[in-house]
Amino acid sequence: MTLTRTNGSADWALLVTCDAKAALGTHLSPGAGDAALFVSRGTGTLGEGNDALDVAPGPAVVKGESGSLSQEQSVSISEGGGQPRRDVVYLSEEFELAVEEGAEGPLDWGETVSESQENLSNAIRPAPPDMADIPGFPLATVLVTANAPSLSTGALDDLRAPAPLGNVRETAVEFESMATPGGRTNRVWEMDPTTEDFGSLMNDILESVADGSVIHVPPAIYDQTTGVEVNLPDVKIVGDGIDGAVQPDATPRVRKQADVVAFEGFDRMTIKGLFLRAQVSNTTSGIIGHERTTVRDCNIRSMGSHGIHIHQVTESNNPTQSVVDDVAVQYNDGSGVFLEENAGNPNTNAMKVSLRYARKNQGWAIDADGFGNRYLVQNFVGDGVGEGGIRVREGGHSNRAEVTYHEGKTRPTIRLDGNVNEAVVYRTGPNNYNLFEDNGTGNTKRQYTHLDMPEVQRGGTAHVEGLSVGIGAWEDLQNERAYETTYQNTTGGIKEVFVRAYADGSSGSQAIATTLKVAPTESFGSFPAGVADAAYLRDISSERTISVSAFVPDGHYYRVALGSSDESELNIWNERSWV
């Protein structure tokens, strides 16, 4: 059975709640038909006692308990007030029909719907109740227009969630990270932890899900003999997270038992919170991504090739804006992360690669092409194995490569074969003798030996050689900061800055570029002097964002510059202190 939400652009918290409820045991019963609990227009007349809606009979599961609506029933909807509102029709824990009224407000279509396409069903406001604190199974939203005596055509929007594949149990899923703007039709599916072949079951699930779905992987140890191919766009495969990614007993753990690629994705694939480890001799990578791949909170170990391979196979592939964040790569026969562009039309730009730990990979911790990318290794341990920490290959330019801590021997911490890049090393161990290898021109190299940066931790308190480093919460300073304005870090510690810029692309095929500069004085110099991070997008003809971030030492100055031929604006400016 396939169910879709007809409203493709409404930015509702309700949609995320429906996904969360489905994963935790509130959905249609397995095998329920398309007509089960379908909400349709009855008389359409509003007001108490009038049968505005009809709800078909059918079985459902509410908070893990099975029940049903035995026969068709009618539902009354209150009359419209001075402004429109959206109500939610739902099945209660007692398997009775109920209505939760929404707050009134004006119709609003946001910035993504053109005026000629505006209609009742694609307005993003007024939003319905999010139902997060109301037990029950949401069936449909009902748009009640201002002062209306009856419902309009297109007033209903189906919300029914089908039964997920596999076992459904109450598990702690980080749904906040799964929320996607724009009202996408996400469904949360759950892996069966008793499966004999992780890859085979995952491929079966992928044949049943819709674009933008979330597949939850419960904490367990899985064996994999079949490679997973993710061909649908924007699919997220999410485990419960790797707490301290270097731990050998972390779960959910996928043990590769055959010479296959664990995951290969072709359009905005996300892999989060998994430990991938090869248990047999193999020649393949752990993860291969082709189009805007995201890998977060993962540990990838003992692969026969690269841990993660972001690969622009053809000129039309667009890995731009791929993200690798908070990942550990260890004992891989290739590089930890390998970014490979197509020579005909290179497009591996505006990427972020952040490794919390890289140890004894035979290649580089990060080996990369591209323009305007940021590469960060928090802890690099070479011990004489592999090529080194970070390499920016010939042709790569305007990138920033950072290593927070390097404990190793004679391998270079950062090697620059391209031009106009920046390399920064914050701390090194006693056996490191080769920080930089520069084979290009116009590159900038810095070593901050006076900074004691934290080694692994990303939140709370980090302990470095007896020094307690507290990491503060992010502060939203969008309304207090501006482009082309110089600010100084006076916190007494290190400050982390994250800035995102937005352009709507309305003026055609344009470009947008953002740079974040950091310097000990207010004199930053001309590009690339002082550039701590840079991002660039070209040929944009629709809404896009780019982001930059950097650490600012105490007393240093920082400044954000925006270069663009589009009408661009500040979208996010967040800062937090490490003191």
Per residue in 104-127, pLDDT (tens digit) is 888 777 665 667 766 666 677 788
Q: Do 140 and 229 share a domain, yes or no? A: no
Q: Do 82 and 204 share a domain, yes or no? A: no
Of the listed ranges 26-40, 118-132, 392-406, 439-453, the one predicted with least confidence: 439-453
Give the tens place of pLDDT for each residue, 235-267. Answer: 889 887 654 444 556 678 899 999 999 999 988
Query: Is the pLDDT score of 10 beyond 70?
Result: no
Query: Is the pLDDT score of 565 beyond 70?
Result: no
> Cα(442)–Cα(88) distance, rounded to whole angstroms?
60
Domain boundary among 394, 416, 438: 438
CB atoms under 10 Å from CB of 325, counted, come to: 17
Of the listed ranges 50-59, 477-486, 515-524, the one predicted with least confidence: 515-524
Query: Is the pLDDT score of 298 beyond 50?
Result: yes
Q: Do 111 and 204 share a domain, yes or no? A: no
Considering 67-71, 319-323, 429-433, 532-536, the range whose residues carry the highest mean pLDDT is 67-71
Mean pLDDT of the region 294-317:
84
How far is residue 465 from each of residues 365, 425, 451, measured CA to CA in Å?
A: 24, 18, 12
Exposed/middle/buried for residue 369 (C-beta within 10 Å: 0-12, 13-18, 19+): buried
Q: Within its chain, how far is the Cα of 519 from the centroid?
A: 31
Tell me whether residue 500 is in a domain: no
Contact 220, 193 (CB under 8 A): yes
Assign 491 a pLDDT band (cuts: 50, 70, 90): confident
Mean pLDDT of the region 478-493:
88
Q: What pLDDT sits at residue 3?
A: 31
The strand pair at 400-407 and 557-564 is best described as unpaired
Give the position of tokens 């429906």.
18
Tell me whether residue 180 is in a domain: no
Of the listed ranges 44-53, 363-372, 520-529, the one predicted with least confidence: 520-529
Distance, first Cα to last Cα, the chain? 54
Greater confidence (21 vs 505) lies with 21
Mean pLDDT of the region 169-175:
32
Phi-psi region of 351 (alpha: psi -120 to 50; beta: other; left: phi over 0): beta
The CATH number covering residue 346 comes to 2.160.20.10
**In the beta sheet, which residues pair with residue 354?**
325, 376
Of the listed ranges 186-190, 351-355, 544-548, the one predicted with least confidence: 186-190
CB atoms under 10 Å from CB of 433, counted, come to: 11
Domain boundary among 417, 438, 459: 438
The strand pair at 388-392 and 364-368 is best described as parallel
Q: Do 127 and 40 share a domain, yes or no? A: yes
Tell me whether residue 246 is in a domain: yes
Q: Do 237 and 356 share a domain, yes or no? A: yes
This model's pTM is above 0.75: no
Eight-class DSSP state of 356:
E
Query: Is the pLDDT score of 465 beyond 50?
Result: no
Residues in contact with 508: Cβ distance below 8 Å, sequence separation at least 6, in sequence order: 541
Cis peptide leading into 218, omega within 30 of 0? no
Q: Do 86 and 215 share a domain, yes or no? A: no
Structure tokens at 463: 């302990």
Number of domains in the chain: 2
Phi, psi of 172 (to 5 degrees): -85, 100
- The length of the chain in residues reads 579
Tell me whether residue 385 is in a domain: yes
Q: What pLDDT sits at residue 309?
A: 93
Mean pLDDT of the region 422-437:
71
Contact 160, 37 (CB under 8 A): yes
Query: Is the pLDDT score of 395 beyond 90?
Result: no
Give the tens place of pLDDT for each residue, 520-541. Answer: 888 776 545 566 666 655 555 5
Tell me whether residue 116 is in a domain: yes
Helix (H) or strand (E) holding 238: strand 236-239
Mean pLDDT of the region 287-304:
90
Q: Do 135 and 249 share a domain, yes or no? A: no
Assign 338 a pLDDT band (cuts: 50, 70, 90): very high
Q: Is 122 helix (H, G, I), strand (E, B) or coil?
A: helix
Mean pLDDT of the region 297-313:
89
Q: Do 369 and 278 share a domain, yes or no? A: yes
Contact 90, 134 (CB under 8 A): yes
Tell me whether residue 529 is in a domain: no
Q: What value, to the nearest 5°, has the Cα angle with vertex 89 and ends 83 and 93?
A: 140
Of the listed ranges 107-111, 209-213, 228-232, 551-555, the one predicted with least confidence: 107-111
Residue 348, domain extent: 198-438
Q: What pLDDT sits at residue 342?
A: 61
Nearest to 2 by CA among 270, 142, 187, 265: 187
Contact 448, 423 (CB under 8 A): no
Q: Do 289 and 147 share a domain, yes or no? A: no
Exposed/middle/buried for residue 194 (C-beta within 10 Å: 0-12, 13-18, 19+): exposed
Q: Is 101 helix (H, G, I), strand (E, B) or coil?
A: coil
Tell me whether residue 238 is in a domain: yes
Q: What pLDDT sits at residue 567?
A: 54
Q: Do 154 and 248 share a domain, yes or no? A: no
Eight-class DSSP state of 333:
S
Of the listed ranges 5-9, 235-239, 240-244, 499-503, the one predicted with least confidence: 5-9
Mean pLDDT of the region 258-284:
92
Residues in contact with 65: Cβ distance below 8 Å, sequence separation at least 6, in sequence order: 93
Of the listed ranges 8-22, 23-37, 206-220, the one predicted with least confidence: 8-22
Structure tokens at 151: 């419902």
Q: Residue type at 84? A: P
Nearest to 242 by CA among 252, 234, 232: 252
> To 10 degrees, the CA torsion angle through 159, 164, 169, 171?
-70
Q: What pLDDT sits at residue 9?
A: 37
Q: What pLDDT sits at residue 564?
A: 52
Give the tens place of pLDDT for each residue, 86-110. Answer: 899 999 999 999 999 988 888 777 6
Exposed/middle/buried for residue 407 (C-beta within 10 Å: 0-12, 13-18, 19+): middle
> Cα(465)–Cα(463) distance, rounded to whole angstroms?
7
For 515-556, where are the alpha helices, taking DSSP H only? none
Mean pLDDT of the region 347-370:
83
Encode 382-442 in three state secondary structure. Answer: CCCCCCEEEEECCCCECCEEEEEEEECCCCCCEEECCECCEEEEEEECCCCCCCEEECCCC
Mean pLDDT of the region 326-334:
91
Q: Do 433 and 290 share a domain, yes or no? A: yes
Biggest CA–CA distance in the chain, Å, is 83
Contact 152, 123 (CB under 8 A): no
Phi, psi of 531 (to 5 degrees): -70, 115
Q: Do 221 and 127 share a domain, yes or no? A: no
Domain boundary among 105, 129, 158: 158
Tell me whether residue 479 is in a domain: no
Greater confidence (161 vs 255) lies with 255
Assign 459 a pLDDT band (cuts: 50, 70, 90): very low
Query: Is the pLDDT score of 139 beyond 90?
Result: yes
Residues in contact with 155: Cβ distance below 8 Å, sequence separation at least 6, in sequence order: 41, 120, 142, 143, 144, 145
